[in-house]
Each structure stands twice: as structure tokens, then as C-alpha cells.
Amino acid sequence: METTTNPRVSKREFISRVATRSGLPVRVVKKVYESLLGELTGAVSCGETVVLTSFGRFYRQDHKGHKVRFGKSNVDDYVVLKFSASSSFNRRLGGDEDEISPETYGMIEDADEFENVIEDRELRAAS
């Protein structure tokens, strides 16, 4: 029986890819990445559900402790982070990797337009 493993992307590689795609310095992308995860963790820790439209939602799920079958200690109550992908994100996952869906092109165009607006604001603020 053949076992296959899914390729993994490390944090460093992920940040590098985002920097390349966005044209931003790796240092900036790393700071945004750490800030994003910090805010996500803080919000979910406080019991909030974080919804990222067209991506999914992050929420906490409480689990009751239980007795361990073999051993002397029990497992206390604990909390886990859960993620539920949006249906539109799941649809995008089903396509061919080399083929970008029209919805994805729209998202890229929206992001480019957003970046242009932000750059214009920064230039005006610097003037």
C-alpha cells in the first residue's frame, strides 16, 4: 500500500509567497501575519467568532474533560480553535490548480483596487 503525504508550506515559505504576490517586503508581511494571528487568537479567546467573508469563520469550541481509560490522571475541560470554510471558498478549492476561477480574478482585482486606494491615501498624507 502506497502512502502519500500532502506537501506542507512552512510559515517562512508562506510569508515569502505572500510577499512575492503582494510586492510588499517580507518584513512587512511578517508583521501583518503576526498581527493578524494575534488579533484572531485574542478575539476567539474572548469567545468571539471571527468571520472572514468569502473565506470562513474561526470560533472556539468547549470540550468536557473525561476520564482516561488507562492511567491515573483525567483530562480536564479544554477549548479548541475551530475553522469552518465558507461555501464559496470550498467551491474554489475544487477547481484545477492551474485554472483561476472568475471569482478569484474578481477578488484579485478588488484587492488591487484596494491597494491603489490605500497607496493614494498614503501619498496624499505624506504630501
pLDDT 10s digits, 63-83: 888 877 777 778 888 888 899
pLDDT of 79 reads 87
Four-residue CA torsion sign, 66, 71, 73, 75: negative
Residue bearing the bigger pLDDT, 5 or 59: 59
**10 Å Cβ neighbour count for 28?**
13
Relative to beta strand 56-63, strand 50-52 is antiparallel
Question: What is the distance between the alpha carbons of residues 88 and 11, in angstroms, rounded to a whole number?
Answer: 25
Report which DSSP code applies to 90. H
Residue 97's SS3 state is: coil
Element (H or E) spanning 51, and its range?
A: strand 50-52
Residue 65's pLDDT is 81
pLDDT at 3: 57
- Per residue in 80-120, pLDDT (tens digit) is 889 999 988 888 887 654 555 555 555 555 655 655 555 66
Say what the pLDDT of residue 125 is.
59
Q: What pLDDT is recorded for position 59?
A: 95
